[in-house]
Amino acid sequence: MKKKNEVLDLSFEFALGVIRYSDLLGTEKKYVLARQLLRSGTSIGANVREAQNAESKADFIHKMKIAAKEADETTYWLELCRKAENFPNPEVLIQQVESIRKLLNSIIGTLKRKKM
């Protein structure tokens, strides 16, 4: 039986939500934010997935750090959408990306504290 990987599952589900939200932004002609959000929001899961095949612990940490940076950027775009007028409500995505950011930071911190 395959072991559950919470950060992998959460980042994948989040990417699906970002795709739906970006599509909604596109229908409202908010193309620039839709494109930026789609790029950074789907990159989180792609980097987490890539980390699963890391060549070393250092490589794994590096890829998870990239995922965390993408999560930070995604938070920025979602907060812009939240504050801008006439944008659909992104609160659910903001809560999800915050959970992912906390989990990524916890993983990175734990691995850094462990001896090589």
* CATH (domain of 29): 1.20.1440.60
User: What is the domain extent for residue 72?
Assistant: 6-113
pLDDT computed for residue 19 by the predictor? 98
Q: Is the pLDDT of residue 95 over 90?
A: yes
E-assigned strand segments in the chain: none
Whether residue 109 is contained in a domain is answered as yes
Does any domain span residue 37?
yes
Mean pLDDT (whole number) for 4-32: 96
Let me know if residue 34 belongs to a domain. Answer: yes
- Long-range CB pairs of 108-112, under 8 A, 24+ apart, other chains included: 108/61, 108/64, 108/65, 108/68, 111/57, 111/60, 111/61, 111/64, 112/61
pLDDT of 113 reads 87
**For the chain, what is the domain count?**
1
In the block, which residue shows the tokens 């959000």?
37
Q: What is the pLDDT of residue 12?
A: 98
Residue 1 domain-assigned? Answer: no
